[in-house]
Amino acid sequence: MTNDHKSPKTFTTQKSFNSSSTSTLTHPWPKRLLLLLITLITTLLFFQMQSLHNPFTITSSSITWSLYNTYSSFATRSNPSTASFDDRLRDSVTFLPLVDLRFAKTAMEGNTWFMSSINDTREPGESEHLRFPSAASHGRLLCMIARDKSDGAKNHYALAWPDALPIGASVRKGLTFVSDTYYDYDNIWHGLSAVVPFVRWHARNRCAKPARWVLFHWGEARASMGPWVRALMDATFGGEPNIETFNATGPTCFEDAVVFRHNEGSMSVPNRRAVYDMMRCRARSYCNIDERKADSPSSLDVTLFLRTGARAFANESGVIRVFERECGKVEGCSVRVRRPNGLSFCEQVRLMGETDVLVSPHGAQLTNMFFMERNSSVMEFFPKGWLEMAGVGQYVYHWIAGWSGMRHEGAWRDPNGVECPKEMVGEPGKCFTFYKDQKIGFDEEHFGRWAERVLKRAKQYKLDRMEGRVVEEGVAGCSCGS
């Protein structure tokens, strides 16, 4: 199809068609003009069809635009009875399913299944994104119809020029952050992964703030974020997030939209670090925390951040006793036991600001680690079965430690614990489900040696920092870059 329209053959066909159907035209000049016009229209239609088929395949939008201008001014002057070109463009806006089920198995790879016809814009060190309008969108806006809350394939998107928006469209003014994640906006780890690229966008675009958020999970619009994620966004952007609900009757078009659909994607570590620095700084300010008071240089604060139920320590008092014993050997050291349940966002931010060594089972509460001072320590614990069965997801707190500039001091994996029942062995996923939320055991000797090593080093680090013996990388503060 692509080449047919450009080939001389088509041109010839066109020409013969012209000759027969315009036989009443005797003067060669108007005939040639008409021929030119028809060629222009054909080319224009070709581009238009291409654009419907695959919105980003056009490489020469300027041609389309100039053709459009030539044609539309000519048409309105010489043939007022024809429907206006804008109307035709408007009618021809094509909506595609928001998620492309052909890519359901590789939903987060490549272009992802979300808005699959459009390629990401890539910049070194940054998350892949899409922007509408932009040069890449040829000036077109993003329009969506997304009322289905349980099937993203029944929701739709289209690109449309501002002067030819689909009939019945409402336009949302200002900047809109559009997110699609494979996970969710409630779990603090998953929610954070989805919002990080938007904070980065804000930081590198003169603190641009979103007028609204559009939250998709599998192409289904979500109306809320979990309270922790919401509070973090409130703290970071200086206002509660306003979330689009798609309750308008017609399509919703966005004046200016930026789309992230890979979570952090290919963002570089220094850029991630700057994002975590900014969120730490803004969260502390939002929670009225005086930074200088939070982290006393002469103390060493150890927090046992303990879970109840799933992934709790089977022998909590034993664990607490070991840490208290080892802490007792370090000057200025104190141990405090806290549980994430029931702590408000600001209580978590404050607690982390006062923690030098965070001791905690694997779990979402560990996401809070980036609120600690840089280079603070994390000790993580897993029940039996995780190493063999949990896949790469078990390393997320190693990763966030690296990204936010903390020291992950390693993990302890319970070698004992209850065995997976025989009838589950061999059934995919069954044993992991069994192990996932088991209690975590206790190895007094190992915990003791590990705690001794970490606390000693952490204390030394604080002393070195206080006395100016370490050079830390510059910490990005609350303000935006360029």
Ligand X SMILES: *[C@@H]1O[C@H](CO)[C@@H](O)[C@H](O)[C@H]1NC(C)=O
**Binding interface with ligand X (CB under 6 A):** 54, 56-57, 119, 245, 247, 315, 317-318, 374-375, 405, 442, 444, 470, 472-473
Residue 353, judged by CB atoms within 10 A of its CB (0-12, 13-18, 19+), counts as buried
Sole residue written with tokens 């938007």:
198
Smallest distance from ligand X to CB 473, Å: 4
Smallest distance from ligand X to CB 344, Å: 25
Smallest distance from ligand X to CB 188, Å: 22
Smallest distance from ligand X to CB 405, Å: 3
Smallest distance from ligand X to CB 363, Å: 21
The helix/strand/coil state of 306 is coil
Residues in contact with 422: Cβ distance below 8 Å, sequence separation at least 6, in sequence order:
none
Q: What are phi and psi of 183, to 5 degrees?
A: -100, -115
- 413 contacts 382 by C-beta, under 8 angstroms: yes
For ligand X, the closer of residues 359 and 389 by Cβ is 359
Smallest distance from ligand X to CB 82, Å: 31
For ligand X, the closer of residues 109 and 472 by Cβ is 472
Q: Kindly give the pairing relationship between strand 252-260 and strand 141-145.
A: antiparallel
How would you classify residue 329: left for phi > 0, otherwise alpha for psi between -120 and 50, otherwise beta? alpha
For ligand X, the closer of residues 86 and 255 by Cβ is 255
Smallest distance from ligand X to CB 57, Å: 5
Q: What angle do CA 127, 133, 137 make, to 5 degrees?
A: 80
For ligand X, the closer of residues 21 and 106 by Cβ is 106
Smallest distance from ligand X to CB 273, Å: 7
For ligand X, the closer of residues 268 and 375 by Cβ is 375
For ligand X, the closer of residues 93 and 389 by Cβ is 93
- 230 contacts 193 by C-beta, under 8 angstroms: no
For ligand X, the closer of residues 163 and 473 by Cβ is 473
For ligand X, the closer of residues 14 and 94 by Cβ is 94
What secondary structure, in 3-state letters, does 129-196 show? EEEECCCCCCCCEEEEECCCCCCHHHCEEEEECHHHCCCCCEEEEEEEEEEEECCCCCCHHHHHHHHH
For ligand X, the closer of residues 56 and 183 by Cβ is 56
Cis geometry, peptide bond prior to residue 133 (ω within 30 degrees of 0): yes
Residues in contact with 117: Cβ distance below 8 Å, sequence separation at least 6, in sequence order:
54, 55, 56, 96, 100
Distance CA(266)–CA(239), nearest Å, equals 28
Smallest distance from ligand X to CB 247, Å: 4
Report the candidate in 207, 237, 123 with the shortest Cα–Cα distance to residue 482: 207
Smallest distance from ligand X to CB 228, Å: 21
For ligand X, the closer of residues 101 and 136 by Cβ is 136
Distance CA(225)–CA(235), nearest Å, equals 14
Cα torsion 12, 14, 20, 23: sign: negative
Sole residue written with tokens 């000057």:
331
Sole residue written with tokens 């970071």:
236
